[in-house]
Amino acid sequence: MQRRRVLTFGSAGLGAIGLTLFAGWWQVDGPGAAQSDRLRPLALSDMNFRMVDHEGITVTPQSLVGRATMVFFGFTYCPDVCPTTLSDISLWLDDLGNDADELNVVFITVDSERDTVDAMADYVSYFHPAIRGWVGVSDQIAQAADDFRANYEKVPLEDGDYTMNHTASVFLFNPTGEFVSTIDYHEQREFAVPKIRRALKSGADTTS
Amino acid sequence: MRLTAKNTLLAGVLSAFGLTAILSAPVLAGGNDVVVEDAWSRASIGSNRPGVAYMTIRNTGNEAVTLTSIRTDLARMPEIHQTSTNAEGVSSMAPAGELEIAPGGFVALEPGGLHAMLMRLQRPMIEGERFTLTLIFADGAEKTVNVPIFGIAARGPES
């Protein structure tokens, strides 16, 4: 990319080339890169929270290390985005076939008030059996979102109830627990499954 | 009797009103020009959580129609909502307000976008059952839709 730019702007003089290269470096590797809208999640082993899964077992991000991991934030009172994403995930898992056995799939609630262990157990039972639901107290949910660089916010509805805004991307980690990529909401399914396969194959020596 | 200028004017105004009333008649029947396709919904877990319904609303008429509200005996507070996802990947949901559908145009209520949010469910939405949802338009026309309920993990009208 930079080589092409050099060729394109070659006749414009060395100053322009230098400026172009500098601008490219600034945006890709330099201080400008840190300004991108999204921060990378921490490695699972560097995260620091504790929750309970839908079977009542205490879980931590460290308990996921050893297998590739897919994580999605949501809440069980979510009428549109969460069931849609969970049914997408269920389809991806069907596509992966036996390879899905090598994958942790975790749905983390952002709604500490309403999502109890029982509510979560009931909810995840309608989707692919590999999906684990994690619930927790509010400060642990806040820490989890922080570690994943995810956002959520409680929003009152007109009827006195509330809904939750939340990051709807699916996070992918390799078996050693390093962040690999995200599958964004509305991303085409043909891109999603290869991304998951890449996370599954991404070994200890490949951290990108 | 001779018509005075004043009377002529009055007659003109009256007939103009009459004409308007006649011309308005097809507009008042705007709901008849609305066709709803591919309506579907997902089963709920109990009745505490809001339900959702999706469909394509097509305006086959020559006048724009404006969907102002929805009504169903299934939910005390049904409302069209819009889900949107920002550059940071955060999804949020808000009332969509009135939806104008141009002549020959359509509005798609589909996962991750516009949807009929069924708040305050009066009873659980059970897979395999159906319910009726009435679309109410600005001209007073109404269109009642029979919506099938699919499973919680359903993805579309074909499920």
The ipTM of this complex is: 0.75
Determine, for residues B120 and A159 on separate chains, whether the beta-carbon distance falls below 8 Å: yes
Q: What is the pLDDT of residue A188?
A: 78
At B65-103, the pLDDT tens digits run 999 999 999 999 999 999 999 988 899 999 999 999 999
d(CA A73, CA A65): 19
Number of separate domains in chain B? 1
| A155 contacts on B by Cβ (under 8 Å) | 92-93
Residue A183 maps to a domain: yes
Q: Which domain holds residue B102?
A: 30-150
At A145-185, the pLDDT tens digits run 999 999 999 999 877 889 999 999 999 999 999 999 999 88
Residue B3 maps to a domain: no
Determine, for residues A168 and B50 on separate chains, whether the beta-carbon distance falls below 8 Å: no
Residue B9 maps to a domain: no
Q: What is the pLDDT of residue A187?
A: 80
Residue A181 maps to a domain: yes
Lowest-pLDDT choice from A33-37, A48-52, A162-166? A33-37
Residue A113 maps to a domain: yes
Determine, for residues A167 and B91 on separate chains, whether the beta-carbon distance falls below 8 Å: yes
Least Cα separation, residue B35 to chain A (angstroms)? 24
Residues 131-150 of A with CB under 8 A from B: none
Q: Which residues pair with A103 in a beta bridge?
A: A68
Share of chain A above pLDDT 90, in %: 70
Residue B1 maps to a domain: no
Residue B100 maps to a domain: yes
Look-up of token digits 């990319």? A1
Q: What average pLDDT does this structure show over A20-42? A: 58
Q: What is the pLDDT of residue A16?
A: 53
Which CATH number goes with the domain that contains B102? 2.60.40.1890
**What is the average pLDDT score of chain A?**
85
Lowest-pLDDT choice from A102-116, A136-150, A154-168, B136-150? A154-168
Q: What average pLDDT does this structure show over B17-30? A: 45
* A155 and A124 co-located in one domain: yes
* A18 and A66 co-located in one domain: no
Q: What average pLDDT does this structure show over A105-109? A: 98
* A186 and A113 co-located in one domain: yes
Q: What is the pLDDT of residue B20?
A: 45
pLDDT-derived band at B21 (thresholds 50, 70, 90) equals very low
* A84 and A154 co-located in one domain: yes
Closest by CA to A115, choosing from A53, A49, A50, is A53
Residue A208 maps to a domain: no
Residue B155 maps to a domain: no
Residue A112 maps to a domain: yes
Residues from B contacting A (CB-CB < 8 Å) are: 42, 45, 48-52, 76-77, 79, 81, 83, 85, 87-93, 95, 111-112, 115, 117-120, 151-155
Of B45, B119, B155, the CB nearest to A87: B155
DSSP for chain A, written as a single string: -HHHHHHHHGGG-HHHHHHHHHHHHHHHTSGGGGGSS-PPPPPGGG----EEETTS-EE-GGGGTTSEEEEEEE-TT-SSHHHHHHHHHHHHHHHHGGGGGGEEEEEEES-TTT--HHHHHHHHTTS-TTEEEEE--HHHHHHHHHHHT--EEEEE-TTS-EEEEEE-PEEEE-TTS-EEEEE-TT--HHHHHHHHHHHHH--TT---
φ and ψ at residue B138, rounded to 5 degrees: -60, -30
Of B42, B93, B119, the CB nearest to A159: B119
Q: Which amino acid is at A189?
A: R
Of A86, A155, A161, the CB nearest to B119: A161
Residue A39 maps to a domain: no
Q: Which domain holds residue A10?
A: 2-33
Share of chain B above pLDDT 90, in %: 69
Residue B2 maps to a domain: no
* A17 and A108 co-located in one domain: no
Residue B18 maps to a domain: no
* A27 and A54 co-located in one domain: no
Determine, for residues B52 and A79 on separate chains, whether the beta-carbon distance falls below 8 Å: yes
- For residue A139, the Cα-to-chain-centroid distance in whole angstroms is 20
Q: What is the pLDDT of residue A23?
A: 60
Q: What is the pLDDT of residue B26?
A: 42
